Amino acid sequence: MLSRLTVHLRNGYNWPDLAGRPCARDENANLPAGYTYLAQFVAHDLVHSVAPLPGLGEPTDDLARDFRAMRMVLETIYGGGPTARPGPYAIDGFPPERRRRLRLGHVPRAEPGFGTGVSAPMLDKPARDIPRAQCPYLNDRGRQSATDALIADPRNDDNLIVGQLTAMFHELHNIVLDEVDRLAEAPHQGLDDFSAFRSFLAARKVVAYVYRGIVVNDLLKRMLHPAVHGFYTDPARSFPKDFADDPSASGVPCEFSHAVFRFGHVMTRFNYPINDHFDSRLPGKLDASMKDILDRTSARSLTLMPLACNWLVDWSRFFELDRIPTYSRAIRPFTGRGHLTNNTYFPNELELDGGIFLLDMLRGVSAGVRTVSSLAARIDPAFRAASPLLSDSAYRAHAIGKWLTQQRSALHGSERQHALADDELALVSRDPPLFFYTLFEAADEAAGRRLGILGSVIVAEVVFGALHTTRAVIEGDRTLEDLVDRVFERNAPRDMPQLIRFIQRKGGLAAVDCGA
């Protein structure tokens, strides 16, 4: 049944915008494209499972556990620190065991695979990629050595854009570390080991402090329903109860990790303009396809690594800087057709068509996420009353059923044969998968510009809960606010454009001339 539901999602019934006009273009001007990948980055900082998810029907007690120890403190970047996880850290002091700076990787002029052979990294150019190392003992069919990413969380090499975002945070840490050393009036070579490590910890806390503020004041403000964002950011309110029955055992609730927060998958575009001088070596091709984005990783395509200079991301294409950026796709039950719907990249154990979107719904089933009705009963009554979909189950079933019926009537040929049957359509209308409902609710309540009430509450519960749990480590450090003011000259970034401009002012994110 879930596979047939994805047939409905692939064929885009044109949801109207806030003014009631059909969406001529599937764009979300509230969320520039960069926020799609910032949300993925935040998900990695919240959840870390150490084993593959079990198959359908298999026990989930151990394999589906979340082992992220500290949430929303950039453990996804720093790992356990240079002592426990030295790989991401560069040797930057005397004695040589001292590691405080995060590695960055130099890029070659051209990538392998186009008759150029293996192009050596340009060591005289700025390092702009995540660090990668070639292991001579691992090779891809004898053509070249395997190139592994030297980062704390391998998932941050999941695609080109989140990899470049990770490299940005590596640069930010190094810039902040230099500023902390400067304020201490001691170059790192002159610091004793104890003082050097204290300055590393201070820099890490400064970066985490700014990152947390950007997540709350920029990402979540754009992503959540305004009433929900206002409720959770109001300092006069106590933090509400968690959705998880036993947070200490289960970590982040599966309703978040296996359903709601996967809404970001529908925000991904089919193509992206990477930079002004993008050259894919294919005639007439100006944008990178989602296949290109997925392939430019060490995990998927060793023969395309290290990342070539013409694939470096220009962040003005993804955030609101000095031009109109590329926008994310609207949050609605429309997947379209592309490589995310391709089982080659995202296979499932049932070998059914649907790609990552079918996988999202199957994982929700395997994890045992709660029903929409049970979740609606648990949220604050004021939120429930503000949403007809949540407060009236008959209306919810009617609205979903009407949309599914419209979708089915628009199908033709074999797709019509693979659509939901009448009894299945009625069942989905009464008891929709939480992932599907999240998309439907966002389209119905916010024209796809942001999440609806239930999706917003579940995301807010998890993210603000993580911020609350680790607040003593970051905002509770009485020395940190003054240090942040001094590092950023009393102008700490509160959104992604401000953060990018700060890094650029300090010499980071420098352009790399591929032709020179």
Q: Are 262 and 405 in the same domain?
A: yes
Report the distance separating Cα 34 and Cα 272, nearest Å: 11
Q: Where are the strands (E) in 224-321, listed by range?
A: 271-272, 288-289
Q: Which of 312, 329, 361 is the last residue of a domain?
A: 312
Cis peptide before 235 (omega within 30 of 0): no
Mean pLDDT value of segment 389-400: 95
- pLDDT-derived band at 345 (thresholds 50, 70, 90) equals confident
Q: Are 342 and 439 in the same domain?
A: yes
Yes or no: say if 430 and 458 are a contact pair by the CB < 8 Å rule: no
Do strands 28-32 and 99-102 pair parallel, antiparallel, or not at all (unpaired)? unpaired
Yes or no: say if 100 and 199 are a contact pair by the CB < 8 Å rule: yes
Q: Are 211 and 307 in the same domain?
A: no
Q: Are 346 and 288 in the same domain?
A: no
Percent of the chain's residues with pLDDT above 70: 81
Angstrom distances, CA of residue 84 to CA of 71, 79, 446:
18, 8, 45
Q: Has residue 516 been placed in a domain? A: no
In terms of average pLDDT, the best of 137-146, 340-349, 396-405 is: 396-405
The separation between CA 129 and the C-alpha centre of its own chain, rounded to angstroms, equals: 18
In this predicted structure, what is the pLDDT of residue 281? Answer: 55
- pLDDT-derived band at 85 (thresholds 50, 70, 90) equals confident
Q: Is residue 282's pLDDT more than 60?
A: no
DSSP 134-152: EEEEEESTTSSEEEEE--S
Buried b (16+ CB within 10 A) or exposed e, 160-177: bbbbbbbbbbbbbbbbbb
Q: Is residue 141's pLDDT more than 60?
A: no
**Tokens of residue 270, six digits:** 């089919």
Q: Which residues pair with 135 in a beta bridge?
A: 146
CATH number at residue 490: 1.10.640
Q: Has residue 515 been placed in a domain? A: no
Angstrom distances, CA of residue 164 to CA of 154, 253, 320, 497:
13, 29, 17, 15
Angstrom distances, CA of residue 96 to CA of 89, 92, 101, 189, 406:
12, 7, 13, 11, 66
Q: Are 70 and 205 in the same domain?
A: yes
* DSSP symbol at 219: I
Report the distance separating Cα 371 and Cα 392, nearest Å: 15
Query: What single letter denotes the amino acid at residue 348?
Result: N
Q: Are 389 and 476 in the same domain?
A: yes
Q: Has residue 94 been placed in a domain? A: no
Q: Has residue 95 been placed in a domain? A: no
In this predicted structure, what is the pLDDT of residue 110? Answer: 78
Neighbours of 482 (CB within 10 A): 9
Q: Are 185 and 333 in the same domain?
A: yes
Give me the count of residues in the chain: 516
Yes or no: say if 186 and 468 are a contact pair by the CB < 8 Å rule: no
Q: How many separate helices (H) and strands (E) can be counted in the chain? A: 22, 8
Q: Are 453 and 396 in the same domain?
A: yes
Q: Are 199 and 165 in the same domain?
A: yes
Q: Has residue 286 been placed in a domain? A: yes
In this predicted structure, what is the pLDDT of residue 9? Answer: 72
The separation between CA 91 and the C-alpha centre of its own chain, rounded to angstroms, equals: 29
Q: Are 112 and 232 in the same domain?
A: no
Report the distance separating Cα 198 and Cα 327, nearest Å: 40
Best CA proximity match to 30, nearest among 455, 460, 446: 446
- pLDDT-derived band at 247 (thresholds 50, 70, 90) equals very low
Residues spanned by the domain of 114: 104-149+281-312
Q: Has residue 1 been placed in a domain? A: yes
**Tokens of residue 78, six digits:** 């720093």
* DSSP symbol at 326: P
Q: Has residue 33 been placed in a domain? A: yes
Torsion of CA 184, 186, 189, 190, to 10 degrees: -120
Neighbours of 68 (CB within 10 A): 20
Residues 294-320: tens digit of each pLDDT: 888 887 877 788 888 889 999 999 999
Mean pLDDT value of segment 45-55: 68
Q: Are 171 and 54 in the same domain?
A: yes
Residues 416-454: tens digit of each pLDDT: 778 888 898 999 899 999 999 999 999 999 989 999 999
Residues 184-236: tens digit of each pLDDT: 876 655 677 778 889 999 999 999 999 999 999 999 999 999 999 999 998 87
In this predicted structure, what is the pLDDT of residue 235? Answer: 81
Domain count of the fold of the chain:
2
Q: Are 165 and 42 in the same domain?
A: yes
Nearest 5 degrees, angle CA 323-CA 329-CA 333?
165
Q: Has residue 409 been placed in a domain? A: yes
**Tokens of residue 324, six digits:** 């109109």
Buried b (16+ CB within 10 A) or exposed e, 417-436: eebbeeeebeebbbebbbbb
Report the distance separating Cα 423 and Cα 130, nearest Å: 50
